[in-house]
Chain A
Amino acid sequence: MGENVTALQSSLDRLLDSPGVTGVALVDAVTGLVYGAAGDVVEAGDGTESSEFATLIAERLGAAGAEGELESVVLTSRRRHQVLFSVVRPAGDPLLLTAGLDRDRSNVALALRGIGDRLAEVLA
């Protein structure tokens, strides 16, 4: 969206320091609009598909009896993980942080904790 590095872009760039993270994106969880991305954007996933997928899962989990808001979704294939994190905002529609992880270079449990601990920094 421009040549200047914005605060959001800097936040996303820092997430690439996490082990095995190949791409991240901040996505509007309702509309699928991608506000920013860093690294391999294909690895981060399509914004519209990610938002629709997270919405579907949240609705079905809620209907099945789950309490509270969706926190994260982990998809695993032979070579990579894709993780969707809900980003809490003080007000406004929810956001998703989508991240692609290289399975050979990441431990999904550590990555979940590492990125999860830094979610608050994304909107700082």
Chain B
Amino acid sequence: MTPAARNVPALLQGLREGEFTGTVRVSGSPGGMIHLRDGLVGAIETPGAPSATSVLLTPGRIDDAAWLAACAAEPDADRLGAYLVSAGLIGAAELEVVCTAAVFDAAFAMTLSPVGGWETGEREPTLLTTPGVEPRHLTEETTRRMTSLTGSGRTPGELARLRPRLTKNEGSVGAVAGVPGAGAPLAPRGDAWLPRRYRDLLGGVNGRRTPRDLAFALGRGLYPVLLDLIRLEALGLVLWEAGAATGDRPSTAPRVTPGSPAATGPAPAAGPLPRRRPGGASPAPDRGEKGAT
């Protein structure tokens, strides 16, 4: 049964009125699954943003062994949250915060690209926020998030596909003059004063990872990562890699955990690109300079 609706928010509102329990599969890029309980949104799973499970496991809030033991003890994922709390692995209020944040973040990620279609289905067990998020609240917050990013001069979808890199002056904050929103230049004194989440984010920025890659690597939401990258750009620490967007092609950058050598180590040494020769058989590179030979 798939009720007629002009878009996903209207669909969810209609399902709320019918107190629907089940799953809405949304096709598109990235698409995803919206889990409803009595019409409230309990969880959203999408390849575009880390799930609540990722947010709990990636930074080690719950270790893998304890998670696997909990999943074995409580096979119904709908009741897994209650089990995690009863086992003392996380507080009920903190779990509510994590799961709620993941719902809003996934909704934001799914809004970055056009939706192909949708169909409703049976309930599929998953880790839920309880009692769930009102669809109207979800729509309003997602709209606010999209609007908040439009001031950067790029659409939120474009921002999410760029690959930010560190500025050459990273470490001397405010050294890049004329950065919108930077205000008065700040004293160059390294990045030791930066909040930890900024430093962690800077450790993952390398010009190859998209904000989505960074979100998965750090176990953070896509929207907060985008916001922090914009703030770091305003501080002169990060540049959005113009022209590096790759359309809808999925990122193939490796996922690494914060603190691992791959996350914190220097980028591989890059030597000069081979010179092109007229009549050579090599395919034209994506970003070759015309007239270089």
Residues of A within 8 A of B (CB): 1-4, 6-8, 11, 26, 28, 30-31, 33, 35, 48, 55, 58-59, 62-67, 69, 89-95, 122-124
Contact = CB atoms under 8 A, between A and B. Distances in A.
Nearest to A60: B186
B196 interface: yes
A38 B132 CA distance: 18
B235 A6 contact: no
A7 B96 CA distance: 8
A110 to B, nearest CB: 25
B8 interface: no
Contact of B97 (A1, A4, A26, A67): A26
A3 B186 CA distance: 47
Nearest to B231: A55
A3 B131 contact: yes
A6 B93 contact: yes
A66 B97 CA distance: 29
B179 to A, nearest CB: 14
A2 B197 CA distance: 32
Interface of B: 40, 55, 59-61, 85, 91-94, 96-98, 100-101, 104, 130-134, 137, 141, 144-145, 148, 173-174, 186-187, 189, 193-197, 219-221, 223-224, 227-228, 231, 235
Contacts of B104: 31, 33
21 contacts: A1-B132, A1-B137, A2-B131, A2-B134, A7-B85, A7-B91, A8-B92, A8-B93, A8-B97, A28-B97, A31-B223, A59-B231, A69-B195, A69-B196, A91-B60, A92-B220, A93-B220, A93-B224, A123-B94, A123-B97, A124-B92
Contact of B131 (A4, A11, A90, A123): A4
A92 B134 CA distance: 24
Nearest to A4: B131
A31 B92 CA distance: 21
B187 A63 contact: yes
Given A2-B131, A92-B98, A7 B93 contact: yes
Contacts of A48: 144, 148
A107 B228 CA distance: 35
Contact of B130 (A4, A31, A69, A95): A4
Given A3-B131, A92-B61, A122-B93, 19 more contacts: A1-B100, A2-B40, A8-B93, A8-B96, A11-B93, A26-B97, A28-B224, A30-B227, A31-B104, A59-B235, A62-B195, A63-B173, A89-B94, A90-B61, A92-B55, A93-B221, A93-B224, A94-B197, A123-B94
Q: Indicate the member of A28, A59, A92 with the most B CB atoms within 10 Å.
A: A92
B158 to A, nearest CB: 20
Contacts of B186: 59, 63
A58 B195 contact: yes
A11 B93 CA distance: 8
Contact of B91 (A58, A93, A95, A123): A123
Contacts of A35: 96-97, 100-101
Given A91-B60, A92-B98, A93-B221, A123 B93 contact: yes
Contacts of B131: 1-4, 6
Contacts of A7: 85, 91-93, 96
Nearest to B93: A8
Contacts of B219: 91-92
Nearest to B37: A2
A124 B93 contact: yes
